[in-house]
Amino acid sequence: MRWGDAWVNHAIFPYDAVLKAYMQQYKFQGDYRLRVVMQPYIRRALARETYDVLVPIPVTAGTWLTRGFNQVTGWLTDQPFQQVLTVDDAHKPRPQSSKTRQERLRSPQPFQLAPAAEKILPNQHVLLLDDVYTTGRTLRHAAAQIYLGGAKAVTSLTLAR
């Protein structure tokens, strides 16, 4: 499926065997020390982007309890960002990585706006940050909520695609 719109996503790397191994160790095995490997790449990529507000894709409370961290915010230790999205465990019963392409494309909206969003988002250009762009469904769900919060533009940056 092609989306047929002008969505802009910049990926730092292609999703290859090296990135897959990195994500397996960092995200799925919870090796938080590996966040520092990608921080310089994320920092450089963010410097090339034009945006007012940086918004990392959130993880569910269940993921936080299991893994102990958000893999995206782990890369942002020295970058300012806003957590204007929340996600409920009930809306994400299975990780995206365990779904087929068709299941991902049919997934319902998992995000809600955090209370602070109404003060942060109006008339802003928002840059969403996520780990891997697969189908684009997660980022588009996030963007839909961000637009509801009054943002004037939403683009995205991912580690890999």
**pLDDT tens, residue by residue, 7-28:** 799 999 999 999 999 999 999 9
| Token pair in block for residue 77 | 């230790």
With 0-12 / 13-18 / 19 or more C-beta atoms within 10 angstroms meaning exposed / middle / buried, residue 5 is exposed
Do residues 83 and 55 lie in contact, with contact meaning Cβ atoms separated by under 8 Å?
yes
First to last CA, the chain: 16
**pLDDT tens, residue by residue, 92-112:** 555 666 667 677 667 889 999
Residue extents of the structural domains in the chain: 9-160
Q: Are strands 153-160 and 125-132 parallel, antiparallel or unpaired?
A: parallel
| Token pair in block for residue 54 | 């940086």
Q: Collect contacts of 17-25 with beta carbons under 8 A, ≥24 apart.
A: 19/132, 19/159, 19/160, 23/71, 23/131, 23/132, 23/160
What's the pLDDT at 108?
85
**pLDDT tens, residue by residue, 129-158:** 999 999 999 999 999 999 999 999 999 999
| Token pair in block for residue 143 | 């963007």
Q: Does domain 9-160 have CATH number 3.40.50?
A: yes
Residue type, 68: G
pTM recorded for the entire structure: 0.89
For the segment 71-78, the average pLDDT, to the nearest whole number, is 95
